[in-house]
Amino acid sequence: MSSASEAHASDGHHDDHGDHHHELPFWKKYIFSTDHKMIGIQYGITALLFLAFGFYLMMVMRWSIAYPHEPLPGWMSWFLSDDWKARWLQDGKVTGETYNMFGAMHGTIMVFLGIVPLGFAAFGNFVTPLQIGAIDMAFPKLNMASYWLYLLGGLVMIGSFFVESGAAKSGWTNYSPLAGFADSQIVNQFLAGQTQWLLGMVFLISSSLLGAVNFLTTIINLRARGLTWMRLPFFVWAMLVTGFLLLLAFPPLEVAALMQLMDRTAGSSFFMPSGLYTKTAGLLEASGSGSPLLYQHLFWFLGHPEVYVLLLPAIACVAEIIPTNTRKPLWGYKSMVYAVIVLGFLSFIVWAHHMYLTGMGPVVSNFFQTTTVLISIPSVILLTSMLISLWGGSIRFNQPMLWAAAFIPMFGIGGLTGLPLAFNLVDLHLHDTYYVIGHFHYVVAPGVLFGLFAGIYHWYPKITGRHMSNFLGHLHFWPSLIFMNLLFFPMLVQGMAGFHRRWYNGGDAYLSKASDSVNIFGNTVAEWLWLNPVMSWAAWLLAAAQIPFFINFWTSIWWGKKIKNDNPWDATTLEWSTPTPPPHGNFTYDVNVYRGPYEYSREDHEGDFYPQWEAPKRDEPAEEPAKKPVA
Amino acid sequence: MEIPYTFTARKDTGLFNSKIGIWLFLASEVMLFGGLFSGYVFLRLYADYPWPERALPVLPGLINTFVLIGSSVTVVFAWASLKMRQWGRFQFFMGITIFCAVIFMVLKGLEYNAKWHHQAVRLDDFTILEGHTHKAELDERGHLHIHHEHGAEPTEEEKKRQFPANVVVVEAEEINFTLVRAHDPYVKDILAKAKERGAVPVLADNAFFYGSPKDLPIDAAERKKLEDQLIKSHASGKEAVRFGDKKDSLYIPKDTQLTVDLLDRAEDVYLEARAINGEVRTKVLRKLWKDAREADKEDLPNFKLAEGIQIDPEEHLTGLVAEAPSALTFTFEKPVALHFKRSLIREGEGSSKLKDDTIIKGAVASSPMGLAVDAVDLRWVAQRAHEQGKDPKTVIEGLWIMENPEFKEIWERHSAQLAILTEELKKDGREPTENDKYRIDWQDLVAFHRAHEKHLEPGSPEVADLRPGMFEGITGPNHKIEENQHAFFSIDIPNEKVGFESLFTPKWNNYYAIYFTLTGLHGLHVVGGALVLAYYMFFSKGLYRRNPEWLANRVEIGGLFWHFVDLVWIFLFPILYLM
């Protein structure tokens, strides 16, 4: 009674409205597809490619930090054209300008082109409609448009590496006025990297807007019969909240991007203060009286909710994987749901904790300190619930569970290191140091990425019908865990010693300088400089550790172990009741949901799991009824 | 496969999909415009210049408000007609809605167009003058001649020669182009202007581009021999020639005429040389590092090693790198007057610079800006005087513009009017605003002119009634009316007096920047919405026959969007036009 097809047969239903499977032409099936599963896969693969590219940029930066006086090694630069190298490398060495460009684009690509599309768009697209028993998204064509806009935005961003000015180089936050006059020497502003960054951003924001509207509508209106709100898997709840964050937080960034675009192309001064003088452009030839602070407010109004847009899909994946592999219900499901809603709400009123150093004044500062500390409560509820869910379970340490288990402490470190930054007094010292970098990379890299890797290993069998290799999985997991920590933990140490996050030569300039009243970091920086090569090697080896994953990912499609049935993990949620891979239209039976999402190890039921779709037997006591079954 | 609830409502939510979708979309739109509105508040609160108040002509905005409200009503009628299954009535009301959208955009277009032809300038003493630039041209001697008179329409021939009197004239002797950065349209522009004046820029000196290290003799004497030979054999032709084994190198003889193509060819070789050099230098540096590490007995960490030994590839490069200049200089036989739009050039002592790093050597000739002034704004002068603890009146008396007799008379009339106004307001216990005190707008100028014609003394109470009404000059001052041409005084502003100038575009100040951003974005919404509604009107008969309810739902969400667009305008109108 474990597989869906059996359940289907025993139910005796027959789906008269079942879709007759038409073979679609290749371009409609794989390229211009409106099927949420194919779009999810497109998103996933594109996002993984962007992640790899963002990772490459970081490896080059790590070279410049560890070995600032040496030319870039051949293995990192052989595929670059001579022209490009002549323009952007000095005697093969990474210049400050190139470092800034790579730094800005690393951040942008990782956040906007890598993790958000992988977490929200790829997993959300593939899993959400399946979990709520829908045949597709509410607006399949918008869904396709969303993907193509995303790709267009990504290509515009990547393309900007090859224009004369190079890609954007004012940090991933693109703060004005720096971003305002960078590349201002270019006559045709549409060919300047900074402008293309903004254009790319407008495409990406439009894409995520379409995606968010689509997800929310789907979750609200297309749930299957009997799938009440409190029977939704936690994954769907997380997607719902993420959707709202994207819907409401992105427009202010679009405003900021449009205003900066006006500054660049129409000569306005939204973010350019009066009397701005720069070495490159001289005295600003514009009206002035703009406000750089306005830009920061608009940016971080998006920027902070964005953190949760990155995070929630990973938590969502882990929250599905833990109950499945501990064979017991998710502990505190309801409190997790309420926590995630509160988290979503609070995330809109903490943004200015990124701006303590702008001199907003103590009143504003206190408000944001308070809300920032408050938001740690729902985060801790989420993490603790997942931790307690492990207690007393008979844990199966398969590949997804390994990653999910590692997610908890890794994300824990990320979260706890964030607490000191919430207080502006401490932030004065740590702001813009490697401590901050270490903190948010712990959240995003070993945190979010581990959760998403867990998700990939978990749903891969549903997508392809085959398991990924266990051996290669271990070869991927253990080095990744070690090198991630070797890469990011020293950052916390260096940051406290005063390493600034934007040194392209890794603090090398401090080496020969004695500390004095001007240069108080002289000694501490020199003391911890040796960590630079250690972290860089960890980064490069981390890249090597992804090779097994790459091989695993592409070979298991054809040579992986076949799954035993449609529900290989013996899971309870609806996506495991479909044929594998799910056909166009997803379900081959009339979906009815009878119970909550995590009914594992119920004493009154034979077998250790009770799927949502399985009808109760006649002699069993009636389930808690869904309040109003929907026709 | 049919997605459920596309046109029927789901029972428990009571909504069909696209209705949820449009509400969510509108929530996001609220955040979008909300962001811009908060930007407006922020910019206005922290403006360090006098914020323009009631600076836009109200009438087009007012008409547009009613037009949009009207269209919001008709779109509902259109939807109701569909619900009643009356296709003809639907088309009729939808037609009116779309027609309203067209009126809205046309009025918007007229308003924008007026701004784009309206010049503003801030003098170095913070006097602000608004008006239209006169036409100007360069005479035979290359002097700037400004046409102040409002004569007959210029002929086509004249139109071609003339340009707005807002240029900097440079007596160009020498022009230096940076090969990579030189912007083709700029080069073409310079060539065309020089040709008009009968001059041709020619290369100042022989230029040798060694595109490959093989072509470059190491020995200096040998190199000179090679170059002499090239000069001898090719000087007469005045053509750039390729040389070297594989023709990697380029020789451009002195006096070769400037063309875009020539710069492109030189750029190609320069880039080639740059790429080769980068590659060679990288290889050398890599080897030096390898050697240094092998020689290092103590096994120092890399950064210590770098500190201890100075690794410099420079001395190891003999005979390995190519050589090509990155810029080329062209000269004129004798100085040639070239004019550039003021915003495109940074003029300096003896050498001026274009945005693409092209350097033009030569003296800057007298380049006044010729302006028919339709408004004078001294609020900034007054604000600065207050800030510096000076009396605004005395500061204003000493302004450069006071030297203009026409303005002096205007200022007298204005001061007299202000005195009357102050008296009147005093009765209600009020005071004149900064706008009243220090801004003379075009209606004032026309009123003063009419008073002058009627021989009214300054301070006559009738002057206030002579101001043109709402319907004269719907989009602002009209320079084509003869009376206005007499009312608006002309002034030539010397180049060094011009502090900052711009048309009334986002560049002029943040008020116009936010005005264009907000109304532009709103205009895009109007166009987008109208296109969707037009699609329902013209191309949805088929859907109407198959499933009229579905079409009604579509029109409903289109109408919801249309109402939102209307609502945004209702916020925009007061904050931009009235406050």
pLDDT digits (tens, 9 = 90+) for A466-480: 999 999 999 999 999
- The domain locations on chain B are 17-118+509-578, 166-367, 371-503
Q: Which of B277, B284, B302 sits opposite A86 (nearest CB)?
A: B277
User: Any idea what DSSP says for residue A609?
Assistant: B
Query: Is residue B100 scored above 80 in pLDDT?
Result: yes
Q: Which residue has tokens 């020995």?
A: B219
Backbone angles phi, psi at B209, to 5 degrees: -110, 105
In angstroms, the CA A353 to CA A372 distance is 7
**Contact yes or no for A283/A208 (Cβ under 8 A):** no
Q: Which residues of A touch B508 (CB under 8 A)?
A: 287
Q: Which residues pair with B250 in a beta bridge?
A: B209, B242
Give residue-wise pLDDT tens across range B14-32.
999 999 999 999 999 999 9
**Contact yes or no for A202/A257 (Cβ under 8 A):** yes
Over residues B391-407, mean pLDDT: 94
Cα dihedral B562→B568→B573→B575 (10° resolution): 180
Query: Is residue B359 scored above 90 in pLDDT?
Result: yes
Over residues B558-578, mean pLDDT: 96
Which stretch of A9-18, A331-340, A423-432 has the lowest confidence by average pLDDT? A9-18
**Length of chain B counted residue by residue:** 579
Give residue-wise pLDDT tens across range A75-113.
999 999 999 999 999 999 999 999 999 999 999 999 999
Query: Is residue A138 scored above 80 in pLDDT?
Result: yes
pLDDT band for A22, please (50, 70, 90 cuts). low
* DSSP letter string, B189-237: HHHHHHHHTT---EESS-EEEB-SGGGS-SSHHHHHHHHHHHHHHHTTT
In angstroms, the CA A483 to CA A546 distance is 11
In angstroms, the CA A128 to CA A25 distance is 26
Q: What is the token pair recorded at A562?
A: 């076949």
In angstroms, the CA B206 to CA B228 distance is 10
pLDDT band for B462, please (50, 70, 90 cuts). confident
Residue B415: which residues within 8 A CB-CB, separation 6 or more?
B458
pLDDT band for A2, please (50, 70, 90 cuts). very low
Query: Is residue A618 scored above 90 in pLDDT?
Result: no
Rounded to 10 deg, the angle between the A399-422 and A450-464 helix axes is 150
pLDDT, position A624: 57
DSSP SS3 for B415 = helix
pLDDT, position A631: 43
Smallest Cα distance from A387 to chain B, Å: 35
The residue ranking higher by pLDDT, B99 or B318, is: B99
Q: Which residues of A touch B500 (CB under 8 A)?
A: 285, 287
Among A244, A149, A122, A132, smallest CA distance to A204 is for A149
Which stretch of A345-359, A501-515, A602-616, B198-212 has the lowest confidence by average pLDDT? A501-515
pLDDT, position B488: 94
Which stretch of A58-62, A159-163, B274-278, B299-303 has the lowest confidence by average pLDDT? B299-303
pLDDT, position A374: 96
Give residue-wise pLDDT tens across range A403-454.
999 999 999 999 999 999 999 999 999 999 999 999 999 999 999 999 999 9
ipTM: 0.94
pLDDT, position B319: 83
Look at A287 and B275 and tell me if their CB atoms are within 8 Å: no
Q: Which residues of A touch B46 (CB under 8 A)?
A: 289, 291
Q: What is the token pair recorded at B328?
A: 């080329």
Interface test with A, best of B2, B32, B346 (most A CBs within 10 A): B32
pLDDT, position A512: 62
Backbone angles phi, psi at B207, to 5 degrees: -120, 130
In angstroms, the CA B178 to CA B329 distance is 9
Smallest Cα distance from B406 to chain A, Å: 29
Percent of the residues in chain B that have a pLDDT greater than 90, as a whole number:
79
Give residue-wise pLDDT tens across range A544-576.
999 999 999 999 999 999 999 999 999 999 999
A378 upstream amide cis, omega within 30 of 0? no
Query: Is residue A619 scored above 80 in pLDDT?
Result: no
Total CB pairs under 8 A between chain A and B: 222
Smallest Cα distance from A345 to chain B, Å: 15
Rounded to 10 deg, the angle between the A292-326 and A234-265 helix axes is 160
Which stretch of A453-462, A508-517, B222-231 has the lowest confidence by average pLDDT? A508-517
**Burial (CB count <10 Å: 0-12, 13-18, 19+), residue B460:** middle
In angstroms, the CA B105 to CA A492 distance is 57
A327: left (phi over 0), alpha (psi -120 to 50) or beta: left
Residue of A nearest to B506 (CA): A268
Instruction: Reply yes or no on domain B17-118+509-578 having CATH 1.20.120.80.
Output: yes
- The whole-angstrom distance between residue B569's C-alpha and the CA centroid of its chain comes to 25
In angstroms, the CA A256 to CA A270 distance is 9
Query: In A222-350, which ranges are continuous DSSP H helix?
Result: 234-265, 292-326, 333-346
Query: Is residue B521 scored above 70 in pLDDT?
Result: yes
**Contact yes or no for B182/B358 (Cβ under 8 A):** yes
Cα distances (angstroms) measured from residue A406 to each of A130, A318, A445, B402, B449: 27, 10, 12, 78, 83
Query: Is residue A245 scored above 80 in pLDDT?
Result: yes
pLDDT, position A9: 40
Q: Which residues of B touch A19 (CB under 8 A)?
A: 1
Query: Is residue A525 scored above 60 in pLDDT?
Result: yes
Over residues A599-612, mean pLDDT: 91
In angstroms, the CA A286 to CA B75 distance is 43
Residue of B nearest to A78 (CA): B279
Residue of A nearest to B180 (CA): A164
Mean pLDDT of chain A: 91
Residue of B nearest to A228 (CA): B12
**Burial (CB count <10 Å: 0-12, 13-18, 19+), residue B404:** middle
Residue A482: which residues within 8 A CB-CB, separation 6 or more?
none
pLDDT, position B54: 87
pLDDT band for B161, please (50, 70, 90 cuts). confident
The residue ranking higher by pLDDT, A232 or A513, is: A232
Query: Is residue B280 scored above 60 in pLDDT?
Result: yes
Mean pLDDT of chain B: 92
pLDDT band for A5, please (50, 70, 90 cuts). very low
In angstroms, the CA A135 to CA A123 distance is 16
Look at B21 and A294 and tell me if their CB atoms are within 8 Å: no
pLDDT, position A13: 42
Over residues A27-41, mean pLDDT: 91
Give residue-wise pLDDT tens across range B116-125.
999 999 999 9
Query: Is residue A14 scored above 50 in pLDDT?
Result: no
Cα distances (angstroms) measured from residue B24 to each of A187, B31, B553: 40, 11, 16
Query: Is residue B348 scored above 90 in pLDDT?
Result: no
In angstroms, the CA A599 to CA A127 distance is 19
Q: Which of A69, A247, A268 sits opposite B510 (nearest CB)?
A: A268
Look at A71 and B286 and tell me if their CB atoms are within 8 Å: yes
In angstroms, the CA A627 to CA A396 distance is 35
Look at A217 and B20 and tell me if their CB atoms are within 8 Å: yes
pLDDT, position A23: 72
Rg of chain B taking only CA atoms, in angstroms? 34
